[in-house]
Structure 1
Amino acid sequence: MQSGTPVKRVVWASALGTTVEYYDFTLYATTAALVFNKVFFPAEIPLVGTLAAFATFFVGYLARPLGGLIFGHFGDRLGRKNILITTMLMMGTGTFAIGLIPSYESIGIAAPLLLVLIRLIQGLGMGGEYGGGVLMALEYSPKRRQGFFTSLVHIGTPAGVLLPVALVTALDAFLPAGAYESWAWRLPFLASIALVAVGFYIRLRISESPEFVKMRAEREVRKLPVKELFADYTGKVLLSIVAKVAESGLFNVYYVVAIAYVTTELGLPRGPVLMAVLIACLAECFTLPLFGALSDRIGRRKVYVGGAVFQLLLAVPFFLLVQTGSLPLMTLAMVLGLAVGHGSMYGAQAALFANLYPVQVRYTGLSVTQQVGATLGGGLAPLAGTALLAAGGGHWTWLVVYMIAIAALSSLAASRLGSGELNREALGGVPAAKEAIQ
């Protein structure tokens, strides 16, 4: 399939978009756990303020399914490229704007209201970002290496965690006591504009997806992709949403809820746990392409289900390691959870889910899967996790039950999906499908 854009540039552009997406969500989640409960949601009981901050975190997730439907529709009708430019601007300018919002003490209730409004706009943009970015990489890459190339796009997720955590850790370590809570927390939000500028420039220089160009040339563009999606692929949509829940939800438990647990319930310094997350995210940047390549060899579904089962078994050992407060043991817990457990599911996920749908409805289908699954998983996890910690009197017993339950549910759902093998139906009749393997 010929195109004027090298696949490496397309993957780089897509990965930058994923980085911006997770930079925002990670930075927001980190700051919500550490600062927002004081800046925007002051409360006498710290855990109550944290719950309020995580509720606005969830608001951003609530807007994502709607954004997925809107931008998925236009992505399947008008093309992937222009939608991706729009979504990056919505995400990036929103992150920058959060850094400018005055505190509750300055403007009262208007502060959290502004925060919620910006989160809604960002959520809409993020709803369309993932599907388009992954599909550009998938539809440019060789058929036998789709797992590998789409997993490179997913490196933007740990990178999007790595960058803000590194900034927060550095600011916390080198600034005077109290500076981070009072004003320095704003700096990482304002710095996000640099990522957006680079990503915007690169996306302007890539060509439209070759599979979409071919579909448009053959006049196969659908007037209402979502109607066809739910008429013909409802079962696949529902199964993939449930399969997504554990990947997204457990990621935020390892990172967001664990930080809140260590700092709020155990009363330990945030430096060691942030460093543990930093090391684990760096490790996942390397494990993701390994699992993506493995999924090209043995099948997407096998790798994905294996990752879910691994995390089910990890739930109790994870918190036993974290509660020690030891940097080496917390690092081991985070590496096992993020780099191995999450990395195996996420490395295989894009090629597995995208190939469930034909090219005519693929943007819509993948966006619905990603955004609804992420809302039920990653969006709810900080809120549910913190509430379960509170219900357990600060102990993690009920939280572990939640982790095991969603891991089991997602593994069962994923086991009923296709193998991620390309076929004529999944490509909308493109002859090159015969070349595909699991």
Structure 2
Amino acid sequence: MPLVHSEISPEKTQPDAGPQPEAEPQPDVGPQPDASPESMRRVAVASFIGTAIEFYDFYIYGTAAALVLNEAFFPTLDPVNATLASFSTYAVAFAARPIGSVVFGHFGDRVGRKSVLVASLLLMGLSTALVGLLPGYGTLGIWAPVLLILLRFLQGIGLGGEWGGAALLAVEHAPKKKRGLYAAFPQLGPSVGFFAATGVFWLLSAVLSDDAFRSWGWRVPFLLSFLLVGVGLFVRLRISETPVFAKVMDAQEASKVPTLDVLRRYPRELLLGAGGMIVAYGLFYTATTYCLAYATGTLGVSRDTMLGLSLVACLFLAAGTWLAATRSDAAGRRKLILAGAGLAVVWGLVLFPLLDTEQPVLMALALGGALFCMGVVYGPMGAYLPELFGTNVRYSGASLAYNLGGVLGGAVSPLVATRLQSAFGSSSVGWYVSAMAIVSLVCVLALPETRERELT
């Protein structure tokens, strides 16, 4: 089977856009020759809206975990342990995400990207909406947190299959010299999803009394997922399969067991790619979920103020993501990822000194700077991770690398940060962030540049 950087052999090329074989190498560097600007816009919109909706679903849980789930589902525990229990249910989804990568990646590499993306959206959206209908500990007792963990696990499986498919949808349709640009659209989805999730919580917190918010108001963002799933399905059902994967199916080169092929052929890319993602996850979930709980619980900053600051910080994330992703076509993916990780090493040391001032402007700078660093790393990853793997295992390989990084960087960050802060103070959390950045820096240094590679 051809490696990701190999040329297509003429005898395996089966064009579907025209009778002349010599015209067909064009899909190696981009979409089919008849791909219109309108169809490319549809692909960009579909990849963007899908990830925005799925990450909205994922992030509202993190916000609720920081603000209210400890009281609703773990009222018998002391505040610190209740917060840890709440964050533990949050971490369950990260453990499930590699499973989702294997399951959805298998079918994505064998059946196609489009159908798998529809299935992942349904699983994620319905699991999220059901959290909004789940009675609390006072009604169901111990079954309430058990069912919460189950729904969170299903959320993780759904999201584990989402990102890889959305990134491939954009990258495998894009011209070679614009893969970073088109990959920027699914990479912007988390920024918009986080902004929407935080905005909905901020609005509810502002208009409802504290009792109403804690009683039923926090459920509203989850119930909105019913509507968003419908929107996402409408958009995704209108797109076509990627031309790069269609060539694999035409040549009958689909992998029988994609995950095993990834482990056998691309173990280095898998592990180092996962390591490169650690800092992106660590920065995000430290600066959002943990800092929200820390500032409202330890520093005594109001919930409304912190949610507002999180909205401002999200703009920094979007700016860093778009800037780095679009620049990566000219400057190179690897160079920008290294720059973001290097900046994060420094920013980890100033994050909590700025946050501990309790001055809104400096707190916004602390959170915004952390998310900007995250965006610079995260933006180019939309094209970088898929380019590391061959077409017939690309869904599985890119998804696994992305989500294994989530387990190492995202699942444990709020838990480790809570323990470090309680034992050694807030500065220790900053050192932890810098350590994660160094790990990612070393991993990406060991990987090659990929922007000139062919996708077939």
1:206 alignment partner, SS class: coil
1:200 Cα shift?
0.5
1:316 Cα shift?
2.1
Q: Give 1:34-433 correspondences, 5 Å limit.
A: 34-338=67-371, 340-392=372-424, 395-424=425-454, 427-428=455-456
CA contact (8 A) 1:67 1:123 kept: yes
Please list the CA deviations of residues 288-338 of structure 1 after superposition, one character each: whole Å capped at 9, or x if unmatched: 222111111111001001101101101121111111122111111122111
1:420 Cα shift?
2.2
CA contact (8 A) 2:186 2:382 kept: no
* 9-18 vs 350-359, which moves further: 9-18
1:144 Cα shift?
0.6
2:170 maps to a residue whose letter is A
For 1:157 and 1:23, the matched residues in 2 are separated by 7
Please list the CA deviations of residues 53-92 of structure 1 after superposition, one character each: whole Å capped at 9, or x if unmatched: 0000111111110110111111001000000000000000
For 1:9 and 1:285, the matched residues in 2 are separated by 21
For 1:220 and 1:422, the matched residues in 2 are separated by 23
1:400 maps to a residue whose letter is G
Please list the CA deviations of residues 136-174 of structure 1 after superposition, one character each: whole Å capped at 9, or x if unmatched: 000011111111111121111011111111111111111
CA contact (8 A) 1:37 1:43 kept: no
CA contact (8 A) 1:130 1:367 kept: yes
For 2:224 and 2:341, the matched residues in 1 are separated by 35
Please list the CA deviations of residues 161-202 of structure 1 after superposition, one character each: whole Å capped at 9, or x if unmatched: 111111111111111232111111001110122221111101
1:274 Cα shift?
1.3
CA contact (8 A) 1:84 1:133 kept: yes
Identity %: 38
1:277 Cα shift?
1.1
Please list the CA deviations of residues 388-416 of structure 1 after superposition, one character each: whole Å capped at 9, or x if unmatched: 12222xx2122122111110010110111
For 1:405 and 1:287, the matched residues in 2 are separated by 21
Q: CA RMSD in A?
A: 1.3
For 2:316 and 2:272, the matched residues in 1 are separated by 30
1:216 Cα shift?
0.8
CA contact (8 A) 1:63 1:124 kept: yes
For 1:44 and 1:79, the matched residues in 2 are separated by 46
Which structure has the larger Rg? 2
CA contact (8 A) 1:151 1:346 kept: no
1:423 alignment partner, SS class: coil
2:56 aligned with 1:23 = yes
1:360 alignment partner, SS class: helix
1:44 Cα shift?
4.7
CA contact (8 A) 1:311 1:341 kept: yes
1:242 maps to a residue whose letter is G
For 1:97 and 1:353, the matched residues in 2 are separated by 32
1:106 maps to a residue whose letter is T
For 2:369 and 2:428, the matched residues in 1 are separated by 21
- Relative to the length of structure 2, the TM-score reads 0.90
For 2:301 and 2:152, the matched residues in 1 are separated by 30
For 2:76 and 2:370, the matched residues in 1 are separated by 32
Gaps in structure 2 of 5+ consecutive residues:
1-30
CA contact (8 A) 1:158 1:281 kept: yes
Gaps in structure 1 of 5+ consecutive residues:
429-438
1:325 alignment partner, SS class: coil
For 2:86 and 2:255, the matched residues in 1 are separated by 41
1:7 Cα shift?
1.7
For 2:43 and 2:288, the matched residues in 1 are separated by 29
